[in-house]
């Protein structure tokens, strides 16, 4: 009994230290990269997100309900309960200069849904060496690649139940088997291929993580803090070898003015820029893929009445733009797989861009109201395939503790077809799919331990 009590006290103590770090640990690169200074050799924590989602399930002109009106990752229902994320984490300090972090994901989401099968897996696994090289901390293993804000932040800072469209579609790029047993169909041309990839060849996404090596550090000068991170690694599923002809390279620079506060809830104003590049393989050929962006974040007075936060980020991409399957397989679907397979546009001429702007206000210490608008313009270089996605999200949160809360979100979603005249032989189905886009209601609990 004494050993059990000591273990429980140790785990609780580390959880408190993780949340209540000093102001010197106020950015996500540091929070994700190193353990708290007083953490023991082993500490265990985790969280899970039971979620209820409701959509009306509106059908398109062909009588089928499109995936945009069904719940991912299974796309079998428009009204469902799910465990979106369920993560078990172990971290600690081997000594004062070496820390490690391990995390496994058990939720039902795009990371664990591979080839149509539920596959829990290791999501994080890295060790960080500090103070051996002046001005450089070295992180090795499975790492969050330096990138957009929504990719860097931890679960305690998720303000909504879903990411912005531009983040989900452009930065959570699915992986596909680059050398399938059966050749992918090409719905484009030899010069501008468009590969149709059946769902059985989908290999999920990495939830912004890649296996590699990162150099990073942060420097404090009064209220100012400068942070950098640069990474090289594999572009491909965490469980496979490299799917790129050259390494993934990624970097992020940020400058913060710190007002005060603690850890992930520190009051600060931060501006940042980031860049990622890889050369993914598909069908035996490598294609250039680039993503970059910039933004600003602000937070002051977390869990205080009239506490507030705001975020803005713009990002763009070129090369390997993917469009998910519109429908599941159904009788009478075209044999080319245009409607039931994912479409991969790998050429460097393909582009996309988008942004989001969001903010929140604590009307009481525990009640928070949030608002977000996001916009994504996919493939503006191909008139017939160009689609725009814009969403208003209105949220209400009730915070029991800094790490445990309930979120109620309502999403007003709109899909645009900017060039219907370019769609041959007729834009009728494409326009009906766009017009069918449902609004969405989600209720989620975020429970940490």
Q: Are residues 68 and 415 in contact, defined by beta-carbon separation less than 8 angstroms?
A: yes
| Residue 409 DSSP class | E
The answer on pLDDT for 6 being more than 70 is no
Q: Are residues 159 and 360 in contact, defined by beta-carbon separation less than 8 angstroms?
A: yes
Please, what is the end-to-end C-alpha distance for the chain in angstroms?
Answer: 21
Q: Are residues 119 and 106 in contact, defined by beta-carbon separation less than 8 angstroms?
A: no
- Pick from 62, 59, 61: nearest CA to 70: 59
133: number of CA atoms within 13 Å, CB side? 9
Q: Give the Cα separation of 63 and 56 in Å (integer).
A: 14
Q: Are residues 173 and 322 in contact, defined by beta-carbon separation less than 8 angstroms?
A: yes
Q: Give the Cα separation of 354 and 402 in Å (integer).
A: 31
3-state secondary structure of 111: coil
Q: How many Cβ atoms sit within 10 Å of the Cβ of residue 29?
A: 21
| 181-240 pLDDT tens trace | 778 989 889 889 999 998 888 888 999 999 999 999 999 999 999 999 999 999 988 877
Q: Give the Cα separation of 416 and 350 in Å (integer).
A: 18
Q: What is the mean pLDDT of residues 382-409?
A: 97
Would the CA dihedral through 327, 328, 331, 336 be positive or negative? positive
Q: Are residues 217 and 227 in contact, defined by beta-carbon separation less than 8 angstroms?
A: yes
Q: How many Cβ atoms sit within 10 Å of the Cβ of residue 438?
A: 19
236: its two tokens: 């491909």
The answer on pLDDT for 33 being more than 50 is yes
Q: Are residues 298 and 285 in contact, defined by beta-carbon separation less than 8 angstroms?
A: no
pLDDT at 277: 97
pLDDT band, very low/low/confident/very high, at 177 (cuts 50, 70, 90): confident
Pairing of strands 185-186, 43-54: unpaired
pLDDT at 19: 38
> Residue length, the chain?
449
Q: What is the mean pLDDT of residues 391-413?
A: 97
Q: How many Cβ atoms sit within 10 Å of the Cβ of residue 237?
A: 21
Q: Give the Cα separation of 395 and 391 in Å (integer).
A: 13
- Please tell me which residue, 21 or 401, carries the higher pLDDT value: 401
- Pick from 266, 372, 262: nearest CA to 310: 372
When the pLDDT of each residue in the chain is averaged and rounded to a whole number, the result is 91
The partner residues of 121 in beta bridges, in order of sequence, read: 105
- Pick from 250, 237, 382: nearest CA to 321: 382
pLDDT at 14: 39
- Pick from 363, 447, 410: nearest CA to 161: 410
The partner residues of 249 in beta bridges, in order of sequence, read: 232, 277
| Residue 151 DSSP class | H
Q: Give the Cα separation of 446 and 113 in Å (integer).
A: 21
Q: Are residues 145 and 119 in contact, defined by beta-carbon separation less than 8 angstroms?
A: no
| 338-351 pLDDT tens trace | 899 999 999 999 99
435: its two tokens: 């017009």
Considering only CA atoms, give the Rg of the chain: 22
Place of tokens 């058990």: 106
- Least-confidence region, from 2-16, 132-146, 270-284, 425-439: 2-16
**φ, ψ (nearest 5 deg) of residue 65:** -85, 120
Q: Where are the extended beta strands (E) located within 288-386?
A: 289-300, 308-318, 321-323, 342-345, 351-362, 367-378
Q: Give the Cα separation of 227 and 272 in Å (integer).
A: 9
pLDDT at 26: 53
């Amino acid at each position: 009994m004494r050993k059990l009590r000591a273990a429980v006290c140790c785990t609780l103590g580390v959880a408190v230290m993780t949340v209540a770090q000093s102001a010197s640990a106020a950015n996500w690169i540091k929070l994700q990269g190193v353990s708290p200074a007083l953490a023991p050799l082993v500490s265990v924590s985790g969280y899970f997100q039971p979620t209820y989602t409701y959509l009306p399930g509106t059908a398109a002109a062909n009588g089928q309900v499109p995936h945009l009106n069904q719940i991912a990752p299974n796309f079998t229902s428009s009204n469902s309960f799910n465990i979106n994320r369920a993560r078990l984490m172990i971290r600690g300090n081997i000594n004062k200069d070496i820390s490690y972090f391990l995390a496994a994901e058990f939720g039902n989401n795009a990371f664990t849904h591979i080839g149509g099968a539920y596959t829990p897996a290791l999501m994080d696994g890295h060790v960080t060496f500090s103070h051996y090289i002046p001005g450089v901390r070295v992180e090795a293993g499975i790492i969050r690649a330096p990138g957009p804000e929504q990719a860097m932040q931890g679960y305690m800072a998720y303000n909504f139940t879903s990411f912005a469209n531009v983040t989900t579609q452009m930065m959570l790029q699915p992986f596909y088997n680059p050398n399938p047993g059966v050749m992918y169909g090409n719905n484009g041309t030899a010069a501008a291929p468009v590969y149709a990839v059946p769902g059985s060849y989908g290999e999920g996404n990495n939830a912004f993580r890649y296996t590699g090596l990162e150099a990073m550090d942060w420097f404090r000068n009064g209220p100012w803090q400068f942070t950098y991170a640069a990474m090289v690694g594999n572009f491909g599923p965490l469980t496979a070898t490299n799917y790129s002809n050259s390494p993934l390279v990624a970097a992020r620079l940020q400058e913060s003015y710190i007002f005060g506060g603690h850890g992930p809830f520190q009051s600060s104003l931060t501006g940042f820029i980031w860049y990622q590049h890889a050369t993914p393989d598909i069908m035996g050929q490598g294609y250039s893929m680039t993503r970059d962006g910039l933004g600003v974040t602000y937070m002051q007075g977390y869990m205080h009445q009239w506490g507030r936060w705001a975020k803005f980020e713009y990002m763009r991409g070129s090369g390997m733009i993917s469009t998910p399957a519109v429908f599941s397989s159904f009788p009478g679907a075209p044999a080319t797989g245009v409607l039931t397979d994912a479409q991969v546009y790998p050429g460097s001429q393909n582009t996309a861009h988008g942004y989001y702007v969001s903010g929140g206000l604590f009307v009481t210490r525990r009640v928070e109201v949030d608002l977000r608008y996001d916009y994504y313009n996919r493939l503006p270089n191909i008139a017939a395939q160009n689609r725009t996605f814009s969403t208003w999200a209105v949220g209400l949160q009730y915070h029991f503790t800094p790490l445990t809360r309930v979120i109620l979100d309502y999403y007003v979603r709109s899909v645009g077809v900017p060039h219907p005249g370019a769609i041959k032989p007729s834009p009728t189905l494409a326009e009906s799919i766009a017009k069918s886009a449902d609004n969405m209601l989600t209720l989620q609990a975020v429970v940490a331990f």
